[in-house]
């Protein structure tokens, strides 16, 4: 499988920040891993036009292909402007917009139908971890958020403990190992052996200083990176760390 370094710019960046894509392309003219940047929606088309090496993804999509849904973006539109992927079920969307597993599954199915790769995010809150509910939460999110159309080609699962996102806190290697092994086993139990090829990303305060260690953990096939993806100078060492595992 081809490993994946994915960056989520969230609601950061202005038009001029697309120059970071040029910087990334210069630093990685022919990468041995997939590089994906998910900028805010208004920058998607220019980003996709601008970037020959870096793949471009959205941060959300609607479950329908078109219609009276003011402010929403259809997966077909995202695909039509040259993007390859869409992040779905990020914890900030689950929190800020009350997105449910069912809604995320519908969006994921629509993304698949449009020919997009869905990067589906799951992860426990701090309280859920303290109460030993982590694996139950992951099981419920996997069962509820992934539609039957999920394959290794059209789906990436990102394990993002909510308490590790943007906090500087990172789970122990053992905690990541346990979560990723559980996710892998759960996917194989549902989708069969082909699910061994579904890429599993770790996300939550990944930076250059911890990327090497995280990428050594079994079943970690890349990272979903927030803050450290905004500047090529921060993201590039993470890409290098992933390439160094090959
Ligand atoms: C994220 O946005 O998915 C994320 C993991 O953010 P950060 O790397 O900043 O913790």
Tokens representing 232 are 């090529």
Nearest to 198 by CA among 175, 221, 173, 225: 221
pLDDT for 108: 98
> Of 60, 206, 211, which is best to mutate to test ligand 1, by the most ligand atoms within 8 angstroms of its C-beta?
206
The pLDDT tens digits of the residues spanning 101-147 come to 999 999 999 999 999 999 999 999 999 999 999 999 999 999 999 99
Query: Is the pLDDT reported for residue 209 higher than 90?
Result: yes
The pLDDT tens digits of the residues spanning 21-49 come to 999 999 999 999 999 999 999 999 999 99
Q: Which domains does the chain have, with CATH numbers?
A: 4-243 (3.20.20.70)
Nearest to 39 by CA among 85, 107, 92: 85
Mean pLDDT of 63-71: 95
Quick one: pLDDT band at residue 52, thresholds 50, 70, 90? confident
CA distance 160 to 167: 12
As for ligand 1, residues whose beta carbon falls within 6 Å of it are 8, 10, 160, 165-166, 203-206, 224-228
Q: Is 28 an annotated catalytic residue?
A: no
Calculate the average pLDDT of the chain. Answer: 97
The pLDDT tens digits of the residues spanning 219-246 come to 999 999 999 999 999 999 999 999 999 9
Q: Which of 28, 62, 90, 180 is catalytic?
A: 90
**Angle between the N-to-C axes of helices 208-215 and 173-191, in degrees from 0 to 180, rounded to the nearest 10:** 50
> Of 203, 214, 235, 237, which is best to mutate to test ligand 1, by the most ligand atoms within 8 angstroms of its C-beta?
203
Mean pLDDT of 159-171: 96
């Amino acid at each position: 499988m081809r490993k994946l370094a994915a960056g989520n710019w969230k609601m950061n960046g202005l038009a001029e920040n697309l120059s970071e894509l040029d910087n990334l392309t210069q630093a990685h003219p022919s990468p041995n891993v997939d590089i994906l940047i998910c900028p805010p929606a208004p920058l998607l088309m220019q980003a996709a036009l601008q970037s020959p090496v870096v793949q471009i993804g959205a941060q959300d999509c609607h479950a329908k292909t078109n219609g009276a849904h003011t402010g929403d973006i259809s997966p077909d539109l995202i695909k039509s402007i040259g993007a390859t992927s869409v992040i779905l079920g990020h914890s900030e969307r689950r929190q800020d917009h009350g997105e449910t597993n069912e809604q995320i599954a519908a969006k994921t199915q629509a993304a698949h139908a449009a020919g997009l790769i869905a990067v589906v995010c799951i992860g426990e809150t701090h309280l859920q971890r303290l109460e030993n509910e982590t694996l139950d939460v992951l099981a419920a999110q996997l069962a509820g958020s992934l539609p039957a159309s999920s394959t290794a080609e059209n789906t990436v699962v990102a394990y993002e403990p909510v308490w590790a996102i943007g906090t500087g806190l990172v789970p122990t290697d053992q905690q990541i190992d346990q979560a990723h092994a559980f996710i892998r086993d759960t996917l194989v139990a549902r989708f069969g052996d082909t699910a061994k090829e579904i890429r599993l990303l770790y996300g939550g305060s990944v930076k250059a200083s911890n990327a090497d260690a995280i990428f050594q953990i079994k079943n970690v096939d890349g990272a979903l990176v927030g803050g450290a993806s905004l500047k090529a100078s921060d993201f590039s060492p993470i890409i290098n760390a992933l390439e160094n595992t090959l």
